[in-house]
Amino acid sequence: MTIVLSALFRYPVKSMAGESLAQSPVGPLGLPHDREWMVADRAGRLVTGRDFPELVLVRATPGEAGVALAAPGRPNLFVPNVAFSAAHEATVWSDRFPAWHGAQEADDWLSSYLGARVKLLWTGPATARRVKGHPDVPLSFADGFPLLLIGEASRENLSQRVGRSLAMARFRPNLVISGAAPYAEDDWQTLRIGLVTFRLEKPCERCVFTTVDPDTGEKGGDQEPLRTLAKYRKTPDGVIFGRNVVAEGEGMLEVGMPVTVLAGA
């Protein structure tokens, strides 16, 4: 069976709903506008769907001039990039790096929606952050790497083990691959899609965010799929599902493109 790129997603604001794309440029920073904005607390520390599951119900539509936000029960809001006029330190896990703040209307809009005082940060036109151990690889507000890849067969296998269909949106990948065996991506080292080569750097450790239903914004009381994953995908580093990826060079991706495994089983 031919292995293909079966879906493309980006998440303009960290932890908010993803966008499904038919095609997209890709480069070392990942997909354009992916995690380019982030909700933060007063100190600039990341605020995610782990803390506020209802963030997954907010839809963010990015453009070169800014990002449009839409949420249940709230008027739509366009946030122009020119509103981010003040330098502000951002913290994503253990990383601290310069970002931008100043869109007061967005801060108020998000704070009202979440019922807690938060602020919206922007990476700026060029992110100052880099992937740990890879000073040449730029990084947005993503957890640790520019891209996340998951095999469709892996999602299907996990769904069977849990006993119900789990939407791929729970796992927030950028690249979805079909036509390979479940968890085949565990052993891949490099891929080529179109004219771009991708390095699969490390497994992705998963957290309680996977228990949030992307359609309702509610955490599952049964702790699934994390509970099932822990039974057969637990490592010394954590429960793993998917692979963190870096693109070598730039090019165009389109859903349906064949995937060539260059190194790895």
For tokens 């040449």, what's the residue? 136
Nearest-angstrom CA–CA distance, 86 and 199: 35
Helices (DSSP H) in the chain: which residue ranges?
A: 104-114, 152-162, 226-232
Q: Kindly list the structural domains of the chain, giving each domain's residue range(s) and its CATH number in brackets, ordered by start.
A: 4-30+142-264 (2.40.33.20), 37-132 (no CATH)
Nearest to 65 by CA among 78, 55, 75: 78
pLDDT at residue 264 in the model: 85
> Which residue type, as a one-letter code, is found at position 70?
A
How far from 236 is each of 23, 203, 209, 211, CA to CA, in Å? 36, 12, 20, 21
Nearest-angstrom CA–CA distance, 30 and 26: 5
Nearest to 225 by CA among 176, 173, 158, 167: 158
**Is the distance from CB of 176 to CB of 9 less than 8 angstroms?**
yes
Tokens in use for 218? 């509610």
Show the CA angle centred on residue 20, arms to residues 17 and 24, nearest 5°.
125
pLDDT at residue 246 in the model: 98
Nearest-angstrom CA–CA distance, 213 and 224: 10
Residue 159, C-beta contacts closer than 8 angstroms, at least 6 positions apart: 165, 166
pLDDT at residue 263 in the model: 87
What is the maximum span of the chain, computed from C-alpha positions, in angstroms? 52
Q: Which residues pair with 120 in a beta bridge?
A: 39
Nearest-angstrom CA–CA distance, 205 and 182: 17
pLDDT at residue 160 in the model: 98
Helices (DSSP H) in 60-135: which residue ranges?
A: 104-114
As separate numbers, helices (DSSP H) first and strands (DSSP E) second, the chain gives 3, 20
Tokens in use for 196? 């771009």
Nearest-angstrom CA–CA distance, 125 and 49: 25
pLDDT at residue 265 in the model: 66
Could you tell me the pTM of the whole model? 0.96
Bond from prior residue into 225 cis (ω within 30 degrees of 0): yes
Residue 239, C-beta contacts closer than 8 angstroms, at least 6 positions apart: 205, 206, 226, 229, 230, 233
What stretches in the chain show pLDDT beneath 70? 265
